[in-house]
Structure 1
Amino acid sequence: MLDEIIPHYFNNIIFYSNFAEVEKNIIKIYDLDLIKRIFYMFDDEYSKDIYLLGLINRMLNFQVSKGIMFNLYYSHIFNFFHKLSDSIIDSFDLNGEKWNLFDFSLINGINSQIKIYSRSQYEIFTNFFLEQYRYKDKLFAEEGDYVIDAGGYIGDTSIYFANLVGNNGKVFSFEFIPENIAIYKKNLDINPHLKDIISIVQNPLYDVSNKKVKVLLEGPGSKIVKDYDNNFTYEYNTITIDDFVINNNIKKIDLIKMDIEGSEQKALNGAINTIKRFRPKLAICVYHEKNDYYEVPFLLKKLLKDYNYKYYFDHFTLGIGESVIFCKPNSNM
């Protein structure tokens, strides 16, 4: 497992498979004119490079050993991955899985009182140390921000945001899977200094409210599905971001993060009025479906065309997951 997520410092940083086959697959699956248009959307060269590398990485048969070593860019941070192992102070088993309790106060070089239960050391590392929902010094949650965390899972990203926005801010976390919420509430209880900043909303986000949707329960990968299976699928009522904001008389939204297993486009279409009204910063995942690489950027470009945004792109694993497009409103508008 560690071989899949830790840079191989003793090997070449970029591994090539049959690159002619990669090019053929890209041409077969993607419209290169569309890819070119998206490439030129991005505001800096780093984003353009990472976007193309991510596209190539998906075509390398999803084999990490043949992929691009993205985390070269983060090699100076990887010491903290190993330090996280030393911060485990407790654990418990749930349904055959081990959940560890990480105490950040035990990590040298980190001034933090955060504690988190998680079954994945790398998820904690990605969210808190690589800071998956921050784009360098250009886009991040700030003190006093009101944040929508779409895809709250076990509360790790919401706790990350709450620590940044502080008591003058607010995090509205959308998570509806009972198993996830059970761990989420444990994480809130062990972070009492952040607990009151976070509100859990137990509905899936969509483009319409009060629609019954079928959800396949797979822990962090739970998602809305079309096919119904009584053994694995459950029904939930949806809500849109627009309706949530209006119904709760929310006066501002400063940042919207989405990692909702392929439902990002539906949720964005349900947030059009909120985006127009508040011009929030956006951090939207684009890796769940192969078409996300161009469909989500084009949708964002369409939604934001009159609001003077800048676009950035980053990626946070050696595999195909955790690609994020960032949208920053121009303050000069």
Structure 2
Amino acid sequence: MIKNLKSKYLWTKLIFKATKDPLSALSVLLFRLGLKDKCKCAFKYLGNIELDKNDIEREYFDYLILACSQKLSKVGINNLKAFLNQRNNKIIEINGIRFLNSVVYSIYETFVEEQYRVRKAKDDETVIDIGGNIGDTALYFASKGYKVYAFEPIPEVYKLALKNINLNKNLADRIKFINKAVSSSEGEIKISYDGLEMSGGASAYTNGEKKIRVKSTTIEKIIDEYNVKPYLLKMDCEGCEYEIIKNSDLSMFKEIIFEYHRYENFENPKILIDKLRNQGFKVKSHKKLAEIHFLGPIVEVGIVHMVKNSQ
């Protein structure tokens, strides 16, 4: 009951931040509570938007509220409009990159919130992408000119990523997508996985009903096996960022962007920042993500972008 009340409170607060006026907020709230079948209201950045129950079921409503309740760049606003305008299409195209209309939160995070925003690549710089999910970040980095080695451990998610990459023939040759987890040691690990739509929550550090065994490699092995000259390390791996950062020398990278997940039994993410500072990095940005994510076993989620002191 407490979590349910907290959830309602958080959604109410976000709805009032996302809408242009109190009447719109009230109408959206009634719609979200199931007291209205449809809703046409004024949102920040977008003006009037018409919504129906399908938008709640497919989670477009959630991401509309999250987006309009925070500060977005001009690029993010344009991508939000494209994201919503195509929500009934089989294929979504944003910034010239095409995706199957599935697992939409990944598209939202990468192209609307711009969680992994980077400059264009110079001299064919390379990204190691840990937590490749549906291929959204790999395609984003490739569109910026980077060579990408992406790792996704869940076979079902990996197969969807390959489909998305194949929709973008102009970028596919810049991406090597590998069906493995990355940790601090080689071998196998067990990951909790609750289905494709919840793939972003697949983790070796939670106790889901379904667990699958996957192969695991290390950053050192990746660099050696693929002869990678590392530039950027991106991590979104639902807890493995602790294991990797605490047990690895990452000083060969120039930039590191990681999403941290502070579960109830996890240490403060400050230890990860301090470890990387000791390896010659400084914080470029640190953003805590929308508090609606804090329900359940995760008490804090954030994105940290660190760069070498010389940059």
TM-score (norm 1): 0.64
SS of the equivalent of 2:268 reads helix
Partner in structure 1 of residue 237 of structure 2: 260
Alpha-carbon distance, 1:262 to partner: 1.1
Change (3 A) 1:123 1:8: farther
Say if 2:227 is the partner of 1:249.
yes
Contact kept? 2:129, 2:235, Cα under 8 Å: yes
Mapping 1:1-333, distance limit 5 Å:
7-10=18-21, 71-74=69-72, 77-78=76-77, 80-87=79-86, 90-91=89-90, 101-104=91-94, 112-134=95-117, 140=119, 142-143=121-122, 144-164=124-144, 166=145, 169-210=146-187, 212-218=188-194, 219-225=199-205, 232-250=210-228, 252-269=229-246, 271-272=248-249, 275-276=250-251, 278-290=252-264, 295-317=268-290, 319-320=292-293, 323-331=302-310
CA distance in 2: counterparts of 1:199 and 1:79, whole angstroms: 29
1:329 alignment partner AA? K
CA distance in 1: counterparts of 2:206 and 2:99, whole angstroms: 34
- Provide, for residues 238-258 of structure 1, a one-character-per-residue CA deviation record: whole Å limited to 9, x for no partner: 2111121122222x2111111
Change (3 A) 1:245 1:306: closer
- Provide, for residues 174-202 of structure 1, a one-character-per-residue CA deviation record: whole Å limited to 9, x for no partner: 10211101211110111000111111122
1:299 alignment partner AA? L
Change (3 A) 1:185 1:308: closer
Partner in structure 1 of residue 34 of structure 2: none
Cα RMSD (Å): 3.2
Contact kept? 2:19, 2:68, Cα under 8 Å: no
Alpha-carbon distance, 1:133 to partner: 1.0
Structure 1, unaligned runs of 5 or more = 12-63, 92-100, 105-111
Alpha-carbon distance, 1:318 to partner: 5.2
SS of the equivalent of 1:74 reads coil
Contact kept? 2:127, 2:230, Cα under 8 Å: yes
Structure 2, unaligned runs of 5 or more = 1-7, 23-61, 295-300
How many residue pairs get aligned? The number is: 246
SS of the equivalent of 2:148 reads strand
Contact kept? 1:213, 1:237, Cα under 8 Å: yes
SS of the equivalent of 2:305 reads strand
Alpha-carbon distance, 1:311 to partner: 4.3
- Provide, for residues 106-147 of structure 1, a one-character-per-residue CA deviation record: whole Å limited to 9, x for no partner: xxxxxx32101242444323211321112xxxx546342200
Change (3 A) 1:146 1:329: same
Contact kept? 2:238, 2:260, Cα under 8 Å: no
CA distance in 2: counterparts of 1:295 and 1:311, whole angstroms: 19
- Provide, for residues 66-118 of structure 1, a one-character-per-residue CA deviation record: whole Å limited to 9, x for no partner: xx999432275445423323235743xxxxxxxxx2023xxxxxxx3210124
Higher strand share: 2
Alpha-carbon distance, 1:163 to partner: 0.4
**Which protein has greater RCO, CA pairs closer than 8 Å, 6+ apart?**
1
TM-score (norm 2): 0.68
2:309 alignment partner AA? N
Contact kept? 1:88, 1:103, Cα under 8 Å: no
